Each structure stands twice: as structure tokens, then as C-alpha cells.
């Protein structure tokens, strides 16, 4: 099984100023798209359909943040018939952190904080499979020592006695449509928490629990 990861929000801790006006985001959302390799074609076709609908330039990444509420709502309204009904493996998983509540100890090192949160998201999913490949945008780890995550997640899983084949790959998002899709949903979920913009989120909540799973880490 493959899990594509991206995030929305930032890893900054300037929380005494408004986001977008000199301050950091109050929330960070990390989202994963779970899909088997042979079913990735359904997401690729879906993205192509969205690009045609909105007359977007083919093969040029469209960030989730650039979709209007109307667009994000339409996109989510289509995934049941276009992806879920065709793919048995497809699932969106997500975790959102209220950064204003994070322990000071976890604020000391952005890399440790990110690994910790990503681990909370992935561990319950990874243990359900015999083999997992985690694919991350190279820009996802915006801090030093980003390559520490593969060792971290293997230690967490193998240390609990789960004999699972785990691999991690860091790719340029501009060349991978699965990461584009993860970016879209990281933003659609994040904007609900950061801006109370629920156009897509309200539809996600109506999906079956085995297709959309969200954690909220508000300490």
C-alpha cells in the first residue's frame, strides 16, 4: 500500500500575530492519501477531469490553497462516484494540530514536532498492512534533517513488534499527481480549522469512516 503525504499550515511559532500578517498559522494539518498502486489511476483520471473542468494548464501543479470554496466543494462532491466507488483501497487520513496548545518542549525542535505528529497519523494505518511505502513531498519536511523520519517511523512500528516492510520516498510534488491530491485535501481540511471555511470539510465528514479519518491534536 502507498501513502502520499502533504501538509497545510506552517511550522512557525509566531502566534502573537495574525496568520498572513506577520504571524504563523494557528493550526497545521497533515493529510495522507492511502491508495494501492494499481488503483492510483482513478485519482490521476479524477485530477485530469478537474483540470479540464476549470481549464487548468495540464501537468502544472494547482495548489489546494488556490481553489475557491466553490471549487473545493465541487471537487469533494465528486470523489464518491469518481474514486470511492471504483477504488477499494482509497482513504483520506488527516491530523490537525492546534499549535497554540502544543507543549513548549515540542516547540524546541520543528523536526521532532513534525515527526511526532506524522507518526501519530500514520502508525494506526501502517500496522494494518504487510508492506507500506510512504511518499512525501520534498518540501514537506521544511526543516533540517528531514530524512530522519524514515528511521523514526520504523523504530516506532518495529519497536512494537510489527514485522512490516516500510519504505519512504521524497519526491518533487510538481512531478507527482498523488501528492497534488494530498495537498488539496490538506488545505481543504486545514482551512476549516484556520479560517472556518467548511465548503469541502462538511462533505468529507459525511463520507464513510473507512474512507475519511481525522485526528485532532489540541492537547
Q: What is the number of alpha carbons within 13 Å of residue 6 lying toward its C-beta? A: 27
Q: State residue 76 phi and psi, 5-degree precision.
A: -70, -35
Count of C-beta atoms within a 10 Å radius of residue 148: 15
Distance CA 98, CA 13 (A): 11
Residues 19-76: tens digit of each pLDDT: 988 999 999 999 999 999 999 999 999 999 999 999 999 889 999 999 999 999 999 9
CA dist 127 and 143 (Å) reads 27
166-209 per-position pLDDT tens digit: 999 998 888 899 999 999 999 999 999 999 999 999 999 999 99
Specify the CATH class of 2-217 in words: alpha beta
Residue 174's pLDDT is 83
Residue 1, number of CB atoms within 10 A of its CB: 17
Whether the pLDDT of residue 141 is over 60: the answer is no
Q: Are strands 212-217 and 91-98 parallel, antiparallel or unpaired?
A: parallel
Q: Tell me the C-alpha distance between 26 and 23, whole Å.
A: 9
Please determine, for residue 145, whether its predicted confidence score (pLDDT) is greater than 60.
no
The per-residue pLDDT for 139 is 73
Q: Are 133 and 89 in contact (CB under 8 A)?
A: no
Provide the whole-model pTM: 0.94
* pLDDT for 210: 95
pLDDT band, very low/low/confident/very high, at 158 (cuts 50, 70, 90): very high
What pLDDT sits at residue 36?
Answer: 98
Q: End-to-end alpha-carbon separation of the chain, Å?
A: 30
**Sorting pLDDT into bands at 50, 70 and 90, what band is 137?**
confident
Q: Which of 43, 68, 47 is nearest to 58 (CA)?
A: 47
Burial class of residue 207, CB neighbours in 10 A (0-12, 13-18, 19+): middle
Q: With H, G, I as helix, E, B as strand and everything else as coil, classify residue 204.
A: helix
**For the chain, which residues make up each domain, given as ranges?**
2-217
Amino acid at each position: 500500500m502507498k501513502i502520499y503525504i502533504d501538509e497545510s499550515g506552517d511550522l512557525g511559532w509566531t502566534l502573537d500575530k495574525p496568520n498572513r500578517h506577520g504571524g504563523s498559522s494557528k493550526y497545521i494539518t497533515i493529510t495522507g492519501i492511502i491508495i494501492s498502486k494499481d488503483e492510483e489511476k482513478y485519482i490521476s483520471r479524477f485530477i485530469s477531469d478537474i483540470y479540464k473542468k476549470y481549464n487548468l494548464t495540464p501537468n502544472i501543479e494547482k495548489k489546494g490553497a488556490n481553489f475557491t470554496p466553490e471549487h473545493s466543494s465541487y471537487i469533494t462532491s465528486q470523489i464518491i462516484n469518481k474514486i470511492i466507488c471504483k477504488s477499494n483501497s482509497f482513504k483520506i487520513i488527516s491530523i490537525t494540530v492546534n499549535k497554540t496548545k502544543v507543549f513548549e518542549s515540542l516547540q524546541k525542535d520543528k523536526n521532532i514536532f513534525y515527526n511526532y505528529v506524522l507518526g501519530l497519523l500514520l502508525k494506526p494505518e501502517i500496522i494494518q498492512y504487510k508492506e507500506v511505502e510512504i511518499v512525501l513531498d520534498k518540501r514537506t519536511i521544511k526543516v533540517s534533517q528531514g530524512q530522519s523520519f524514515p528511521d523514526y517511523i520504523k523504530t516506532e512500528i518495529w519497536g512494537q513488534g510489527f514485522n512490516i516492510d516500510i519504505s519512504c520516498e521524497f519526491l518533487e510534488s510538481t512531478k507527482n499527481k498523488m501528492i497534488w491530491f494530498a495537498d488539496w485535501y490538506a488545505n481543504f481540511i486545514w482551512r476549516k480549522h484556520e479560517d472556518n471555511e467548511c465548503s469541502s470539510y462538511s462533505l468529507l465528514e459525511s463520507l464513510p469512516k473507512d474512507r475519511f479519518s481525522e485526528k485532532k491534536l489540541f492537547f
